[in-house]
């Protein structure tokens, strides 16, 4: 396709030629009339005029075509600018969203640093040591806040931070009712990071430390799932069968049966 300036120049030149030829025809018309009035029209002159008229019509069609092309090019340029503006706006919005995510992760990381710093220093300056006769003062965020921070990382797909947060929680509050759930989320986070052996260890903590937990069947199913993802299909399916036998009415048993029937 020709550049827009070239098409425009050709169009203007065509218009000039078209006007010039038109003047020639108009100038010859009186001559033809005079000759006709004198009793005859020279065939050569009539043929010349017809050729000129035919040429003018060709020029007219060519100029109309060039004008159409020029109009199309202008429309394309305008549409291109519109697309550029739309793409630019989308890029700005995407960068703004990414900046918001980075700022959120930075805030979460700073909160975790503050929490770990609070846990590492006991009263009197002894690192991790409690002075005789005195209870250790609470340090860092509370139990629920610690869990919520880790859960926020988990739901935001910040799985490495979630692992660290839930690990801190179960170490600090192993006897809380939320501990089995924390181990489950920690195992799920390890799975998302393709760290299946660590995931199995987290799920086994539920089975071994909290055998009466309602999450026990879910933990068994997750162990089987992780083993299969590690390539140990036989052991994984054994865990599925164990879930079905021990917890037949659980949702985990239903999922295990569906996996075995695949």
Threshold 0.85, pTM exceeds: no
pLDDT at 82 over 70: yes
Pick from 22-26, 111-115, 145-149, 214-218: least confident: 22-26
pLDDT band at 86 (very low <50, low <70, confident <90, very high): confident
pLDDT band at 120 (very low <50, low <70, confident <90, very high): very low
Averaged confidence pLDDT in the chain: 77
Question: How far apart are alpha carbons 207 and 242 in whole angstroms?
Answer: 12
Predicted pLDDT of residue 9: 56
| The two structure tokens encoding residue 104 | 């959120």
Task: Indicate the burial class of 236 (C-beta count within 10 angstroms; 0-12, 13-18, 19 or more).
Answer: buried
Predicted pLDDT of residue 139: 46
Secondary element (H or E) of residue 58: helix 43-120
Among 222, 228, 235, which residue's Cα sits nearest to residue 190?
222
Question: How far apart are alpha carbons 38 and 236 in whole angstroms?
Answer: 114
The class (CATH top level) of 143-260 is mainly alpha
pLDDT at 87 over 90: no
């Amino acid at each position: 396709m020709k550049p827009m300036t070239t098409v425009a120049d050709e169009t203007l030149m065509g218009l000039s030629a078209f006007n010039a030829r038109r003047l020639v025809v108009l100038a010859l018309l009186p001559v033809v009339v005079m000759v006709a009035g004198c009793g005859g029209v020279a065939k050569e002159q009539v043929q010349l005029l017809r050729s000129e008229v035919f040429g003018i019509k060709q020029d007219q069609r060519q100029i109309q075509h060039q004008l159409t092309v020029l109009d199309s090019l202008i429309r394309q340029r305008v549409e291109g600018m519109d697309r550029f503006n739309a793409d630019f706006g989308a890029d700005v919005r995407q960068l703004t969203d990414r900046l918001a995510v980075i700022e959120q992760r930075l805030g979460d990381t700073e909160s975790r640093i503050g929490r770990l710093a609070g846990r590492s220093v006991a009263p009197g300056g002894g690192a991790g040591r409690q002075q005789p006769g005195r209870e250790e003062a609470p340090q860092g965020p509370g139990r629920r806040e610690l869990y919520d921070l880790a859960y926020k990382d988990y739901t935001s797909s910040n799985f490495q931070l979630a692992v660290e947060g839930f690990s801190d929680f179960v170490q600090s509050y192993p006897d809380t009712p939320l501990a089995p759930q924390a181990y489950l989320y920690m195992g799920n986070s390890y799975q998302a990071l393709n760290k299946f052996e660590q995931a199995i260890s987290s799920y086994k903590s539920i089975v071994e430390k909290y055998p009466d937990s309602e999450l026990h069947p879910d933990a068994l199913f997750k162990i089987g799932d992780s083993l299969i993802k590690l390539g140990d299909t036989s052991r994984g399916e054994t865990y599925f069968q164990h879930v079905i036998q021990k917890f037949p009415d659980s949702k985990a048993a239903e999922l295990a049966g569906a996996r075995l029937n695949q």
